[in-house]
Structure 1
Amino acid sequence: MSIERIVFAVAGAFIVLSLVLAHFVSPYFLWFTAFVGANLFQSAFTGFCPLALILKKLGKQSGPAF
């Protein structure tokens, strides 16, 4: 699995998890949803993704985006 697919899977899981937590625990978890969305948005323009850097250091194969 390439870095891009892992990043998309983790981001999607974090968004769904934070929405569930916001519904059942506290609406403050929506800030986490906003953080993940903002990080995805900025990485589309800058190419900088903290998770991608971590995965590269762990030896995962990079695809064309990162």
Structure 2
Amino acid sequence: MAIYRAKTDSWYVERITSFLAGFFVFVSVILGLYTGNKYFFYFTAFVGFMLMFFAVTGLCPSSILLHKLGVPSLLEKYCEKEKGK
């Protein structure tokens, strides 16, 4: 049985995007429970929708923004290592 384990030696677009999604969900749920304001749960639903949107279409606005800010993708990091050999 194969086990998938992401590389954790550096930060790359895919890892940061997953971290941000988890962070936003966690914080919005905590704020929704703490304040009793249901609008925080709408933000949680939005993040969930965007995760499903990415799974269906392959487009992720936060990943596009991170890449434009100069964060390399995992594939780019791997190709840099292969070039350096």
**TM-score, normalised to structure 1's length?**
0.90
Unaligned runs of 5+ in 2: 1-10, 76-85
Task: Indicate the residue corresponding to 1:2 in structure 2.
Answer: 12
Larger RCO, structures 1/2 (Cα 8 Å, 6+ apart): 1
Task: Indicate the residue corresponding to 2:31 in structure 1.
Answer: 21
SS of match in other structure, 1:35? helix
Q: CA RMSD of the aligned region, Å?
A: 1.0
Percent identity over the alignment is 42
The CA distance in 2 between the partners of 1:3 and 1:47, in whole Å, is: 14
Unaligned runs of 5+ in 1: none
Q: Which runs of 4 or more aligned residues in structure 1 lie more than 4 Å from their structure 2 counterparts after TM superposition?
A: none
**TM-score, normalised to structure 2's length?**
0.71
